[in-house]
Structure 1
Amino acid sequence: MDRSITIKRHAALFDDMATQLGMDLQEAAIRGALSFDEISEAVTRCTGCSNPTDCAARLQVTQVAKDAPTYCRNVPLLHRLKAGM
């Protein structure tokens, strides 16, 4: 898969996961709780996910989730952001 397509796909997955968990990444960045470098690193971690197809399917059927799936490589970051809300 083309690298730019992969990055766009995983950027969307990361943003959708955050949204599903009740977080707005743009708002978090504006208030200084999340740097643009952290977003970039999170997307890069997401590209190494072993289950992006399952993640995408989960995001399509679930409106609101309590937590990210255990295989999510961004669980620590998402927990930190959620705790800071």
Structure 2
Amino acid sequence: MPDTAVLKHHVDLLDRTATRLGVDLQDAAISGQFAFDDIADAVLRCTQCPQPEACESWLATAPSAPEQAPHYCRNHDLLTALQGAAE
């Protein structure tokens, strides 16, 4: 299992990416769009990404309301589904 610093970094990356896409992960879980355990699974998928620096770069340069997460994002499908549910 990744150490605490790695987990915190990827929680931040996932949350910032979701927010940039107009998705509030906490609200989505509370409203039943997905389970709180799915957030943990998403963070663990994120920790397995070989290029978190690409995500940092995307967050720094992406438009304020991008249409979707980067294609390489291990949570692309989840975030896309949550975007559709939020609309």
Q: Within 5 Å, which residues of 2 pair with 1:1-85?
A: 3-62=3-62, 63-85=64-86
TM-score between the two structures when normalised by the length of structure 1: 0.90
> CA RMSD, aligned part only?
1.3
Query: Identical aligned pairs, as a percentage?
Result: 43
Which runs of at least 4 in structure 1 moved beyond 3 Å after TM superposition?
Answer: none
TM-score between the two structures when normalised by the length of structure 2: 0.88
1:81 Cα deviation from its structure 2 partner? 0.8
SS of residue paired to 1:84:
helix
Structure 2 residue ranges without an equivalent (≥5): none
Q: Residue by residue, what CA displacement relative to the aligned partner does 1:20-69 show, whole Å, maximum 9, x if unpaired?
A: 11111111111111211100000000001121001012112332211111
Of 5-14 and 54-63, deviating more is: 54-63
Structure 1 residue ranges without an equivalent (≥5): none
Q: Residue by residue, what CA displacement relative to the aligned partner does 1:1-34 show, whole Å, maximum 9, x if unpaired?
A: x710000000110011111111111111111112
Aligned partners of 2:59, 2:51: CA distance in 1, in Å?
12
Q: How many residues matched?
A: 84
Aligned partners of 2:24, 2:54: CA distance in 1, in Å?
22
Aligned partners of 1:22, 1:83: CA distance in 2, in Å?
10
**Which amino acid in structure 1 is aligned with residue 66 of structure 2?**
A
